[in-house]
Amino acid sequence: MKYSIGVDIGGTKVKVVILDECKVIHKYELKTNKENNGEFIIKEIVDSICNYINNNDIKYEMIYSIGVGVPGPVVNDVVKFCVNLGWGEKNVVVEFLNLLPFKTFISCLNDANATIYAEIYNKYNSAVMVTLGTGIGGGIFNGTVLEGFNGSAGEIGHINVSNPYHFKCNCGLHNCFETVASSTGIQNIYKFKTNIDLDCKEIFTKAINNDTISLEVIEEVCDYIGRVCSILSVTINPEIIIIGGGVSLAGGFLLDKINYYFNKYSFNSVKNTNIILSVLKNDSGGIGVALYAKEKRKCVSKSET
Amino acid sequence: MKYSIGVDIGGTKVKVVILDECKVIHKYELKTNKENNGEFIIKEIVDSICNYINNNDIKYEMIYSIGVGVPGPVVNDVVKFCVNLGWGEKNVVVEFLNLLPFKTFISCLNDANATIYAEIYNKYNSAVMVTLGTGIGGGIFNGTVLEGFNGSAGEIGHINVSNPYHFKCNCGLHNCFETVASSTGIQNIYKFKTNIDLDCKEIFTKAINNDTISLEVIEEVCDYIGRVCSILSVTINPEIIIIGGGVSLAGGFLLDKINYYFNKYSFNSVKNTNIILSVLKNDSGGIGVALYAKEKRKCVSKSET
């Protein structure tokens, strides 16, 4: 019996999952201790893992791998920075290895990429994920997770999209994709047209019920999303594009319109790219990074033998 | 002594290079025989290689690898189709192995990707190439060449770019990047503004000499190129973006303007991406695919030992 552990470090709590093969057999949380620029975070995680192992009569050699997900850019297992944790550049793998009382395989991944890994694991060889939340995130998977030169691959919320609003993005630029297709962006377009503050979910409900202005807003938003999906597919040509995040809860109503505009803008050879809705469940960040580290260890072991 | 062979199959001729390590020690060409949907092409290449080997007293076991570049999409060494050669789906590797009188390692790559491989070999770990010619091609390298699900990764000429002209692209769509930033696109914008047919090179010469309309056209074109480069960098986050193709011969004048617009549109964390001009030389397609096959064999050998 071998266990894989996934640690999802967030700004307020750390979620830990223990997997036996691909099944979660245990999970727990601890508070993220941000004192002194987060210098105790890793020590407290290691202590909690050791407690779990000792209390459950698990032998150290049964821990096949530990995956660590962090809310910041990661390149080759090294964290570039995590504003939310107070971390600058940090070699998380080395810190875990120094603190753990046993040897195991450790790997580190950006938390959004960990989530995507959970989504596509054992299903697709290549995928692009478009996460439409209060902002827009993304991830690219092509055999493995694409991290990019400084961990910024998949920052698709900041793709420049021509639009008549020119809302200012949190990043300082104008015309970023997330200013017109995140839930915030949808609300802002609706307000621009009506001068009314309405929640994104309500705008969708009204659109489904054929309210003219809401429908106009959603059509326009799906035009932006379809256009960006067409850009992503002609650039990366993934097997599948997965739409996730809060906005994706609008379901088939949203997906049909995205597909319509995707087809309108797409180059012939990528027109058949499937676009689907995310099916992610709870704890996907921890599960994803646990699976990622497990597969990476398998791969490394293979090439060493 | 080990030799790597690169075969660059084009629509009119096949170029063959023989490399000793990374140096070209011999090269020759043959006519591409397109009779019967190109069914004799591989046989004629194999015959020419055998002739060369026999005439030069090379032992079969000294041929470390053969790389084959083709003008069409390739996924995992299988050609999807090559309109210019009359080929449908074709397992080039198997056909070579069946016809060759000796065993060696064979690999196949799209010709544009082969060219990019020559450009970045031993220099960069990740790169995006933007080839501004009569159309626009592209390639993405991230440790290895990104082929995409059906061989269409890097078809960046068909990224949708908002512009006032809506010229129709050869692919049937409107607003493709190549309709406004290839040499054809530049000529078409100039004609739209002046009703005069002028060669792309002349438009650049006039712009360098401060002709108002030409300068306006080039500024606008560089805005499109800078915008697309910003999209590529925030999506793929490569170490470097390389501008190649005939239009890139405009040199520093072009590059400075592209950098200006790239900076204007780019997300902070990728603003420092270097954009450089291509330094490709002759035979880069053949050299690239020879190096690609050589490195792939090294990699395969390593994981088998």
Residues B27-85 have pLDDT tens digits of 999 999 999 999 999 999 999 999 999 999 999 999 999 999 999 999 999 999 999 89
Residue A207 has pLDDT above 60, yes or no: yes
Model ipTM over 0.95 = no
CB pairs under 8 A between A and B: 128
In this complex, do B269 and A73 lie within 8 Å of one another by their Cβ atoms? Answer: yes
Half-sphere exposure (Cβ direction) of B204: Cα atoms closer than 13 Å: 20
pLDDT at B301: 80
Determine what percent of chain A is predicted with pLDDT higher than 90. Answer: 93
**Nearest-CB residue to B152 (from A231, A265, A270):** A270
Nearest CA in chain B to A300: B303
The pLDDT, as a whole number, for residue A135 is 93
| Long-range contacts from A185-191, C-beta under 8 angstroms, 24+ separation | A185/A221, A186/A217, A186/A218, A186/A221, A186/A247, A189/A165, A189/A217, A189/A220, A189/A221, A190/A214, A190/A217
Model confidence band, residue A305 (pLDDT cutoffs 50, 70, 90): low
The model's confidence at residue A21, banded by pLDDT at 50, 70 and 90, is confident
- Per-residue pLDDT band at B305 (split at 50, 70, 90): low
Strands (E) located in A126-220: 126-132, 136-142, 144-145
| pLDDT tens, residue by residue, A252-263 | 999 999 999 999
Say what percent of chain B tops pLDDT 70.
99
Residues of B in contact with A158 (CB under 8 A): 234, 267
Residues of B with a Cβ under 8 Å from any A Cβ are: 73, 125-126, 138, 140, 142, 146-156, 158-160, 162, 171-173, 176, 227, 230-232, 234-239, 265-270, 273, 302-303
Say yes or no to pLDDT of A99 above 90: yes
Q: Is the pLDDT of residue B113 over 70?
A: yes
What is the distance in angstroms between the Cα of A157 and the nearest Cα belonging to chain B?
9
**Would strands B274-277 and B240-244 be described as parallel, antiparallel, or unpaired?**
parallel
A153–B235 C-beta distance less than 8 A: yes
| Each residue's pLDDT tens digit, B188-237 | 999 999 999 999 999 999 999 999 999 999 999 999 999 999 999 999 99
pLDDT at B21: 81
Query: CA–CA distance from B141 to each of A266, A287, B127, B292 (Å)?
Result: 23, 29, 5, 12
User: CA of B201 to nearest chain A CA: how many angstroms apart?
Assistant: 28
Distance CA A172, CA A197 (A): 23
pTM of the model: 0.92
* d(CA B121, nearest CA chain A) in Å: 17
Candidates B230, B269, B270, B305: best to mutate against A (most CBs of A within 10 A) is B269
Interface test with B, best of A130, A235, A265, A272 (most B CBs within 10 A): A235
Contact criterion met (CB < 8 Å) for A265 and B151: no
